[in-house]
Structure 1
């Protein structure tokens, strides 16, 4: 994106645009797998909200959910898939491009004001 009229907008991933989904995938990108309770606490959301978020990301193929037991207690773990890593990288690159364009536009406006 060069900031010229007619340029294509950056390729933000619609599935990662929501803050909970972005926070979750960013966290998962830094680890192999995380337990449901850890993700819930990190994102600061309810069990229901995290469950819906994981389901949505699993449906898109960005996240893999694994269920099992730790002793007799049921547990759920989540991990970012290869396509999830790619989607996150592309989304973050698009956000960086938007920020860089805004900084350039702001610098140009400041230069015009200084003249």
Structure 2
């Protein structure tokens, strides 16, 4: 069995879904909070909690702005977040290949 460490920040199922969704965007692209919330079928509070952990780890950039008088929040993976997700998927693939051996 290979000795593989899975990033605990990403490994939580809800955070993995967030990171995987944001990783599907092109570098530099952002997704609005409501759009991500709808895509993942998460409550605003639950999504906010997971985004805070990802932001604290430096994996997600949260941009708060206004569109007219309405507050708007946009989300994107940072370069560090993309690298962490790539490392995570590599480690997971290694683990899965080792488990079948």
- TM-score, length of structure 2 as denominator length: 0.91
Q: Could you tell me which residue of structure 1 aligns to residue 48 of structure 2? A: 51
Q: Could you tell me which residue of structure 1 aligns to residue 24 of structure 2? A: 30
Runs of 4+ in 1 over 6 A off after TM superposition: none
RMSD: 1.1
Instruction: Give, in whole Å, the separation in 2 of the partners of 1:83 and 1:11.
Output: 17
Paired residue total: 98
* Greater relative CO (CA pairs within 8 A, separation 6+): 2
| Structure 1 residues without counterparts, runs of 5 or longer | 105-115
Alignment of 1:1-115 (within 5 A): 3=1, 9-31=3-25, 32-104=29-101
- TM-score, length of structure 1 as denominator length: 0.80
- Max radius of gyration: which structure? 1
